[in-house]
Amino acid sequence: MIAHHIRSSAVGATAALALLTGTAKAEVEIEYWQYFFDARVAAMEQLIENFETANPDITVKMTHFPYADYRTKVAAAIPAGEGPDVVQLFYGWLNDYVAANLIQPLPNDSFPPDMIAGEFFPMVSAMREGDNYWALPTAVRSLALFYNERLFEEAGIAGPPATLDEMIEIAKKLTKTDAAGNITQVGITAGMTAQDHHWFREVLVRQFGGEPYLDDYKTVNYNSDAGVKAAEFYVGLANEHEVTSFGFMDEPQAAFKAGRAGMHIDGSFRIGSLNKTRGLKWGVAELPANADGMKSNYSSYWVNAITTKAEGEKYDAAVKFMQYVTSDEAMQIWLDVVGELPAKPSVGLTEANANDEVFGPFIRGLAYANTTKFANESAQRQFLIDMVERIDLEGQSAADSVAAAAEAEQKLLDEYYN
């Protein structure tokens, strides 16, 4: 647990006089909570310092917890009148936080809905209900294709693939097997446990001509020709083209970090850990398009919201803090320190950021990204994990397995929304 305080150790003569004459503002302390991730903590410490310098009458105390404990701590603290005045939450948790009365909508006078709609990337609209936004992000995430430059050079490959067909052909050149035919190096990683369930829903299903959901993500729609083709393509990477293996080195990102995978689809949040991986020489490209050049992407984000604990002067201070952490300045700092993408085109699409060799592919992908509104992300991911296993291990047809996944997911959605 870390608390961040900037306080004066003594009150000078001028300040003392101001106190006597009633011209000094009383200091207000608010609490900010987020889950622990070292780069996020470092970025927030910098934002808090900047904010307190500009608002000397407000002190922000930051507290963080391990990710596994975070939601439990928040859910227990706020109803007891304790804990954060401003809280960080995953966008997919919004409905739960609203239903549990943990957060309150942002005030329209400080956060005009039309202004937000015009200034933020479109996926932020998931935070809007009627005339109010409940929360806003400092940064957003998208997917891109990481590739091992050393393995590309060894295989004589000039650059990353532009299309799905090119991706398969390049993956074939990068795949290696031992004398017994076991894969020792995959051309591309695969695993619905990582980011591939997002790639399947919001990218592949769309690239094969479908729409993964209808009715604002309340109706499953990938039980279609497009969904079946997307599943056949995905499982075919292992079973038909033999350029990958499900479960290879347990985790897709581990295989890529170990230099045992030529390509890997992951989120922009992976940049920091890859930068710390010794001996790994890697590049980034936008996700491959389909044969017709159609691109798609998935975007997710963490948001900040004002809790129902914040009242009176703490509420006013929380509003000011929210305005700062969603400002252009804060977004650029977050990009520089954390590596997550600005939530506003005014920051993300500057020439320097959009053309950055690392951040650029992710930022450009935001222009055609979609954000899945999850009822229960872990359960909805598991349906796709099971779908792949039925096809890969049990030999079930893609059509039957996709239908079973869609039926199970629709049941979950119906129970959740009804």
Q: Final residue of a domain: which of 344, 363, 382? A: 363
For the stretch 336-388, pLDDT in tens is: 888 889 999 999 989 999 899 999 999 999 889 999 988 888 899 999 999 99
Do 45 and 61 form a contact (C-beta atoms < 8 A)? no
Q: Same domain, yes or no, for 347 and 283?
A: no
Question: What would the mean pLDDT of 123-151 be, rounded to a whole number?
Answer: 94
Q: Same domain, yes or no, for 188 and 103?
A: no
Q: Same domain, yes or no, for 163 and 73?
A: no
For the stretch 74-111, pLDDT in tens is: 999 999 999 999 999 999 889 889 999 999 999 999 99
Which CATH number covers residue 25?
Answer: 3.40.190.10
Q: Same domain, yes or no, for 178 and 264?
A: yes
- Would residue 81 be called left, alpha or beta, if left means φ above 0 and alpha means ψ between -120 and 50 degrees? left
Q: Same domain, yes or no, for 378 and 338?
A: no
Q: Same domain, yes or no, for 236 and 337?
A: no
Q: Same domain, yes or no, for 41 and 148?
A: no
Q: Same domain, yes or no, for 262 and 304?
A: no
Do 28 and 59 form a contact (C-beta atoms < 8 A)? yes
Does pLDDT of 2 surpass 60?
A: no
The reported pLDDT for the residue numbered 26 is: 59
Q: Same domain, yes or no, for 223 and 284?
A: yes
Closest C-alpha among 122, 86, 80 to residue 106: 86
The reported pLDDT for the residue numbered 339 is: 82
Q: Same domain, yes or no, for 197 and 282?
A: yes
Inside any domain, residue 257: yes
Closest C-alpha among 283, 74, 77, 41 to residue 160: 283
Position 49: which residue type? E
pTM: 0.82
The reported pLDDT for the residue numbered 11 is: 37
For the stretch 67-78, pLDDT in tens is: 989 999 999 999
**Structurally, how many domains does the chain consist of?**
2
Inside any domain, residue 398: yes
Inside any domain, residue 37: yes
Q: Same domain, yes or no, for 85 and 200?
A: no
Range of the domain at 323: 21-141+300-363
Q: Final residue of a domain: which of 363, 379, 395? A: 363
Q: Same domain, yes or no, for 327 and 288?
A: no
Q: What is the mean pLDDT of the chain?
A: 91
Task: Indicate the burial class of 4 (C-beta count within 10 angstroms; 0-12, 13-18, 19 or more).
Answer: middle
Position 287: which residue type? L
